[in-house]
């Protein structure tokens, strides 16, 4: 589950052009999920065809056996590894198998109780492969539906988190390239602030000027996100670059003396040039064509 270079490029282009980048992630989630669903249905059909059991044991034997990777066992039981880790404090394979089996038994009992209560509802999921078809009863169908729901939720959480982390550095590099900031005036390497203390924090990006280091924080978040103020205070940031900022967020930045850039504002990226000017960072005003320049810059970076 990774973001391709092209998706990251598309996200950055949309951000700098004041467009909503989220459609790129939504499309990727859809593509990943639909491919999983098709593959899962194929496996379901084969497992059911090869099963000699008339009970739900065919599902456990095929989709929760110890030979499968931990992630698959967890998802197929209706959980994900992050949830298991939060519940048990660890997600070793032994714990995953134990948690998966315990949860599956509980899930199956809940489904059976629901089926007994809702007797007027009949559900049959039919999977056809070429000339062969497999029918799943209501209990089996609900287990499959639940697994698909858990998988989509896992994809959604993972890809949204990955999107920000994958795009942040390249976004800052692209802004610096647009304004022709010399490489000696920024550093995109990983740094750790307050090294040696109890809590170390990774700094996203530095702007440099005559020995001074200006910390940059990047948050691709929604409007009014409460993390914004916390982030710039905790990280002692000098420049705060975000997808969207509420007026309250902007006021907070102004009060703290932090130069903010709200990319979703009209020509929002231009505030980065203003921040460079205020900090005395060497640069050139951007007067080019974004449609052309962004493609050239991103092709050089990737």
Residue 165 lies in a domain: no
Residue 292 lies in a domain: no
Residue 57: count other Cβ atoms within 10 Å of its Cβ: 11
> In terms of pLDDT, which residue wins out, 111 or 226?
111
Per-residue pLDDT tens for 164-184? 778 888 999 999 999 999 999
In Å, what is the CA distance from 128 to each residue of 35, 138, 246? 17, 17, 51
Residue 128 lies in a domain: yes
Residue 175 lies in a domain: no
Report the DSSP pairing between strands 259-262 and 186-187: unpaired
Give rounded-to-5 percent helix, strand, coil for the chain.
Answer: 55, 15, 30
pLDDT of residue 223: 55
Q: Are residues 193 and 141 located together in one domain of the fold?
A: no
* C-beta of residue 79 within 8 angstroms of C-beta of residue 91: no
Average pLDDT, the chain: 87
Q: Are residues 124 and 224 located together in one domain of the fold?
A: no
Q: Are residues 123 and 25 located together in one domain of the fold?
A: yes
Q: Are residues 92 and 24 located together in one domain of the fold?
A: yes
Residue 3 has pLDDT above 90, yes or no: no
Please give the tally of structural domains in the chain: 2
Residue 259, strand partner residues:
239
Q: Are residues 116 and 256 located together in one domain of the fold?
A: no
Q: Is 40 helix (H, G, I), strand (E, B) or coil?
A: helix
Tokens encoding 6: 């092209």
Q: Are residues 219 and 277 located together in one domain of the fold?
A: yes
pLDDT of residue 194: 45
Q: Are residues 254 and 129 located together in one domain of the fold?
A: no
Residue 127 has pLDDT above 80, yes or no: yes
d(CA 91, CA 156): 20
Nearest alpha-carbon partner for 66 in 42, 41, 93, 34: 93
Nearest alpha-carbon partner for 159 in 302, 18, 26: 26
Q: Are residues 28 and 79 located together in one domain of the fold?
A: yes
Domain region containing 268: 180-285
- Tokens 């490029």 belong to which residue? 9
Q: Are residues 84 and 191 located together in one domain of the fold?
A: no
Residue 242, strand partner residues:
219, 262
Q: Is 119 helix (H, G, I), strand (E, B) or coil?
A: coil
pLDDT of residue 287: 92
50-59, 87-96, 244-253: which range is least confident on average?
Answer: 50-59
């Amino acid at each position: 589950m990774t973001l391709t270079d092209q998706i990251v490029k598309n996200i950055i282009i949309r951000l700098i052009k004041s467009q909503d980048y989220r459609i790129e992630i939504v499309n990727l989630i859809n593509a990943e999920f639909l491919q999983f669903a098709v593959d899962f249905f194929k496996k379901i059909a084969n497992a059911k065809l090869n099963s000699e059991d008339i009970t739900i044991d065919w599902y456990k034997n095929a989709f929760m056996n110890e030979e499968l990777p931990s992630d698959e066992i967890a998802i197929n039981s209706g959980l994900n590894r992050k949830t298991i880790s939060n519940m048990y404090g660890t997600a070793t394979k032994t714990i995953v198998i134990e948690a998966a089996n315990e949860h599956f038994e509980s899930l199956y009992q809940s489904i059976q109780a629901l089926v007994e209560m809702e007797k007027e509802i009949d559900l049959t999921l039919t999977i056809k492969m070429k000339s062969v078809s497999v029918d799943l009863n209501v209990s089996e169908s609900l287990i499959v539906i639940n697994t698909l729901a858990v998988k989509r939720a896992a994809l959604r959480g993972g890809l949204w988190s990955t999107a920000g982390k994958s795009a942040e550095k390249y976004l800052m590099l692209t802004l610096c390239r647009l304004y022709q900031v010399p490489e000696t005036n920024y550093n995109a390497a990983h740094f750790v602030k307050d090294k040696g203390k109890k809590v170390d924090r990774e700094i996203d990006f530095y702007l440099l000027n005559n020995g001074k280091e200006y910390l940059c924080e990047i948050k691709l978040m929604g409007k009014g996100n409460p993390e914004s103020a916390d982030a710039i205070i905790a990280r002692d940031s000098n420049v705060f670059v975000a997808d969207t900022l509420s007026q309250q967020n902007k006021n907070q930045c102004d009060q703290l003396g932090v130069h903010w850039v709200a990319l979703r504002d009209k020509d929002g990226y231009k505030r980065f040039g203003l921040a460079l000017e205020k900090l005395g960072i060497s640069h050139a005003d951007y007067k080019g064509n974004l449609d052309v320049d962004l493609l050239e810059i991103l092709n050089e970076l990737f």
